[in-house]
Chains A and B, each alone.
Chain A
């Protein structure tokens, strides 16, 4: 764990936003021994704090550090694309203080010793908290469940086959039921694998014009609906890692209304891009699930605003030039996203769809609650006394243009190169230690 023992930092003149408590006020925050010692509207407002380190926030937003629940790295196995260290640098630059890493590595994280490996490598090299998600089935093959109990003991935060759906309903049913025994959270990727086999775009007029192999958008809602039935049968907690269609959103809204323990996320690029952004076969915008229609994109924004979508994720997926500089159908899917998660999510604020507290809540308190993130018994993802001092200082209005060459991530395959955004992280603190400061 990253802590900064014995140090005191006083933040003054901040706009404190704590989505968990609804706090949005001018005030200050005191960090002691890597934890939040005090926070409040009146703190440091009158007197200057007499502390060794004082950070004048100049009215910028001070919020809990972001939690990105869907990050793919290349460690172990493809460190040339992204290591835990380089991913953590990208996270810090994006205001992200915790990353939940997917088990789709080489080897696959399906053994307790490999969970331990991730935790040790992270402790030795990463600037931010790294929380491993273990595989749900051995080798991600969708056939045999992993040792969910032992993996959880080893430190796995959740269970998922990453970007693969468990096609076999019998296997998924048993895995859910077994996971429920240990109150383990299962994450699912929802695309019917046979319906989207070979597809690199969403079926429709645009894909037809480009002549791209395409899969129907309903492949997602079909899996969501199946999984909801299995949740009903097993009582397991299920988190749909990233949905992208209005039909899936409707199914989840109905399941939530029935009181089922389901939650869901959306990727920042599905909030901000649609299928037309593929343009002339732009492979950096090839993602999985693929970009959808404008109606589906708008539904995703509405889903965050209404609260049916719980979390916003980057779905950070590093790829190299070798895998991306290919014809569209042959190119690998995925975009890096840790550094553009916050700016992309903030488009909801600037479009008038959601408040700043709502947007930040989907990347702080809510994922902390879903994944049960705590430190010494205190919930993470909030500005509360005793909570870990994982903080982001951000300017929600600062305009900038995304420049792939300036990303901290080792891989540069961003879907947003050249895109204009407003708002990004200025400083990032993990356990009271500054891990990123934007140079002026």
Chain B
């Protein structure tokens, strides 16, 4: 049940797919206010007082999990972290058994990361609470794309006409999929830059330009978005070695020089320095937005929690009205 003033179209945030440009603008506007709150001395409000937020992470994550934890706490929610090592999933329990157990604990919001595409969607169908997808397989990672959008907008003002190159392991990347959905929707032009082994099948049907030569791919771009290459994919399976990858697809000064002057560099983290990005670029405050992305991550997640909590409150009022 959604009303016209709702920021999000449903009680869940499962992907960028399903959001409209208006939803995204509204979320970014709300997040801007939380950036200010995060920089003040009193970072806390009681907006989510009494609400329970559960972080359910089947894959290890430091930054996304702590970002959600901090966002929840700053809004006054009680936050519980469940990681796969401490859950009974490793004892053979199915995802849905875990879901019904969690459901019985009556959380208000569940943040889930899972190695399989569609896991968040599956949980959203079986749980009563709001579900936020914090990454499902190679499908979507909407909060990352939204925090990237917030970061970009604060530097460039809008997305219209921006040229963004997403570089690296696009094949396995949910970050790339969510970002290309969001950026295309908002009017940016997206390029994918990767060797053929790391490009998904039929990537050209997504309205993006494909480059296998990084220098050509970076020519004239406004934003360079680097992706993490997981270590196990470097040893001959998808690329022959880390040093060959860095030579052709690692972001260094020489390749960055092909981008538009003043181009900005982003990375969702954690970085493999010397594999996909040179340290001097990662640490260059004039071009690298990497630390800022982390700050924006907390702000956008506060905005998402806020938006979902407003929906929850509205639903509860409506259901009381009906009885």
Interface residues of A (CB under 8 A from B): 203-205, 207-214, 216, 280-281, 322, 325-330
Contacts and interface: CB of A to CB of B under 8 A. Distances in A.
Nearest to A330: B116
Nearest to A216: B201
Interface of B: 17, 94-96, 114-119, 121-122, 136-140, 174, 177, 200-203, 205-206
Q: Which interface residue of A204, A207, A210, A326 has the most chain B CB atoms within 10 A?
A: A210
A327 B201 CA distance: 22
A205 B201 contact: yes
Nearest to A206: B202
A329 B117 contact: yes
Contact of B117 (A205, A210, A216): A210
4 nearest A-B residue pairs (beta carbon)? A211-B139, A281-B118, A327-B116, A211-B138
Nearest to A331: B116
A210 B177 CA distance: 9
A208 B203 contact: yes
Given A211-B174, A211-B177, A212-B137, A327 B202 contact: no
Contacts of A214: 201
Q: Which interface residue of A210, A211, A329 has the most chain B CB atoms within 10 A?
A: A211
A327 B205 contact: no
8 contacts: A205-B202, A207-B201, A211-B117, A212-B117, A214-B201, A326-B116, A330-B95, A330-B116
Contacts of B139: 210-212
Contact of B94 (A203, A209, A325, A328): A325
A283 to B, nearest CB: 9
Contacts of B119: 327
A330 B200 CA distance: 20
Nearest to B96: A325
Contacts of B96: 325-326
A211 B121 CA distance: 13
A81 to B, nearest CB: 16
Nearest to B123: A327
A213 B115 CA distance: 11
Nearest to B117: A211
A324 to B, nearest CB: 10
Nearest to A212: B117
Given A205-B205, A281-B117, A326 B95 contact: yes
Given A211-B136, A211-B137, A281-B117, A204 B201 contact: yes
B203 A327 contact: no
Contacts of A326: 94-96, 116
User: Per DSSP, are chain A's interface residues mostly helix, strand or loop, or mixed?
Assistant: loop
Nearest to B116: A327
Contacts of B138: 211-213
A203 B115 CA distance: 19
Given A211-B136, A212-B117, A328-B116, A204 B122 contact: no
B67 to A, nearest CB: 22
B95 A208 contact: no
Contacts of A325: 94-96
B118 A328 contact: yes
Contacts of A213: 137-138
Contacts of B94: 322, 325-326
Contacts of A211: 117, 136-140, 174, 177
B137 A329 contact: yes
Contacts of B122: 281, 327
B98 to A, nearest CB: 11
A326 B174 CA distance: 20
A270 to B, nearest CB: 20
Contacts of B117: 210-212, 281, 327-329
A204 B202 contact: yes
Nearest to A201: B117
Contacts of A203: 201-202
Contacts of A216: 201
Given A210-B139, A216-B201, A329-B116, 8 more contacts: A205-B205, A208-B202, A209-B17, A210-B118, A212-B138, A327-B95, A327-B136, A329-B117
A267 B130 CA distance: 39
A243 B121 CA distance: 31
Contacts of B121: 280-281
B250 to A, nearest CB: 25
Contacts of A207: 201
A212 B96 CA distance: 19
A327 B114 contact: yes
Contacts of B203: 208
A322 B96 CA distance: 9
A417 to B, nearest CB: 15
B116 A208 contact: no
A325 B117 CA distance: 14
Nearest to B141: A211
Contacts of B205: 205
A208 B118 contact: no
Contacts of A210: 117-118, 139
Nearest to B126: A325
A208 B205 CA distance: 10
B311 to A, nearest CB: 21
A330 B137 CA distance: 11
Contacts of B115: 329
Q: Which interface residue of B17, B118, B137, B138 has the most chain A CB atoms within 10 A?
A: B118
Contacts of B17: 209
A324 B117 CA distance: 15
B191 to A, nearest CB: 17
Contacts of B137: 211-213, 327, 329
Contacts of A280: 118, 121
Contacts of B174: 211
A280 B202 CA distance: 19
Nearest to B114: A327
A220 to B, nearest CB: 16
Q: Which interface residue of A208, A326, A327 has the most chain B CB atoms within 10 A?
A: A327
A326 B137 CA distance: 13
A216 B202 CA distance: 12
B196 to A, nearest CB: 13
Contacts of B201: 203-205, 207-208, 214, 216
Nearest to B204: A205
A212 B137 CA distance: 8
B169 to A, nearest CB: 13
Contacts of B118: 210, 212, 280-281, 327-329
Q: Which interface residue of A214, A322, A329 has the most chain B CB atoms within 10 A?
A: A329
Nearest to A281: B118
Contacts of A330: 95, 116
